[in-house]
Structure 1
């Protein structure tokens, strides 16, 4: 079972069957059972006065429908498909959130830099893991755990100042939203390169930092 909003990016998907699955429960179970990722339910969107508001009730919520619903979310996260099914059965509209620093870390860059990096990585034949695309125009590159802790030093070793690049590393204690989570009126998180058997083994951050830093640097120069 594939959890796909839309496949976007530079990969060749001609031989991969497309199945459109939009139910958070099905996606959460798939992530737990097929990828062995921990998952936990977040907030959700509720209809209100011709619009949709975050279930948290905050009018100025910065991530409506896409943030933890509980302070103890880290203890609620589970890698069990059965447990995930029970959690989302309680609230089927809950967003699908993935804790970082466990089975993966995430390198987060602007969308334009992400697409530039993807093209460069394809030319260099860099091994890629899943890559997500968020509706606020960010791209999330999944890497092995520990990537967050060394991202800064890797960037500096390439001659860049981490503060000068819009490259954010998510590691222990963090989380990211996964498809098919919707973030307010902006839209849904999608896979640019969806999880498949071919990218089950994640790359190390060291393999990714150079093209990502270069792409972020190019964007910074053009800003």
Structure 2
């Protein structure tokens, strides 16, 4: 699966700048070039919906007092049905909500394997070194790495899916140390997204033009890297099972 970047002059160059970590200066719309990146994600089949954004003082733009996941959650309770790959709708959202982050709903087209950042970097190096096909990968400045894969269960395949809750909250940390499997009923922020704090964000390491792999082709290396990470941080209180959102 590959993304189509819309054919607008300068868009693909701007996308390349983002993926290489060289953010271009904001354009006249004030969105810093995020719209073509969102459209590229949608063109790759990732369904999107608007999300909250950071507010001054490490707060969230939502009205909830003491929001537990500031700038990391959808703005609508109907995000699962609202999520779309429709170009026109995404353009309208991006222009009418210029500060909004966006989430992508998992379990319909894609899943996300969400691991601690250091474990993810180790796993990515091993996977690429072994010639394994790795799909889109994102890094979050809150210490997570996101591996985008095909989904293991879809609404058309009711006999073969499980709710994300089973994998987000395993019974013991030894069973899945540090790994969360976002599938049906879950979501993650899609780059580019801003997090509370100075210059904290979610960004692509490998963009959405990369084909989605089967999650099982990545799972062994990811779980092994997470186990190494858990062992290396066992003496650091609270770090072996990072549950930051």
Give the TM-score normalised by structure 1. Answer: 0.79
Structure 1 position 135 matched with structure 2 position 141: yes
After TM superposition, the structure 1 = structure 2 runs for residues 28-107 of structure 1, keeping only pairs within 5 Å, are: 28-32=38-42, 34-47=43-56, 51=57, 53-107=59-113
Distance in 2 (CA, whole Å) between partners of 1:67 and 1:80 is: 20
Partner secondary structure for residue 140 of structure 1: strand
Structure 1 position 146 matched with structure 2 position 152: yes
Over 3 Å counting, the alpha-carbon distance change for 1:4 and 1:76 in structure 2 is farther
Aligned residues: 201
Counterpart selection for 2:208 from 195, 204, 209: 195
Checking the alignment, whether the CA contact within 8 Å between 1:3 and 1:179 is kept in structure 2 is no
Distance in 2 (CA, whole Å) between partners of 1:189 and 1:80 is: 22
Moved over 3 A (4+): 3-8, 18-26, 147-153
Distance in 2 (CA, whole Å) between partners of 1:123 and 1:181 is: 29
Checking the alignment, whether the CA contact within 8 Å between 2:108 and 2:184 is kept in structure 1 is yes
Checking the alignment, whether the CA contact within 8 Å between 2:137 and 2:206 is kept in structure 1 is yes
Distance in 1 (CA, whole Å) between partners of 2:33 and 2:70 is: 18
Stretches of structure 1 lacking an aligned partner (at least 5 in a row): 9-17, 154-160
**How far apart are residue 141 of structure 1 and its match?**
0.4
Stretches of structure 2 lacking an aligned partner (at least 5 in a row): 1-11, 27-31, 154-160, 168-172, 234-245
Over 3 Å counting, the alpha-carbon distance change for 1:4 and 1:81 in structure 2 is farther
Aligned to 2:3: none
Aligned to 2:175: 163
Aligned to 2:196: 184
Aligned to 2:229: 219
Checking the alignment, whether the CA contact within 8 Å between 2:107 and 2:186 is kept in structure 1 is yes
Over 3 Å counting, the alpha-carbon distance change for 1:4 and 1:55 in structure 2 is farther
Give the TM-score normalised by structure 2. Answer: 0.72
Partner secondary structure for residue 225 of structure 2: helix
RCO higher in structure (CA 8 A, sep ≥6): 1
Checking the alignment, whether the CA contact within 8 Å between 2:53 and 2:60 is kept in structure 1 is yes
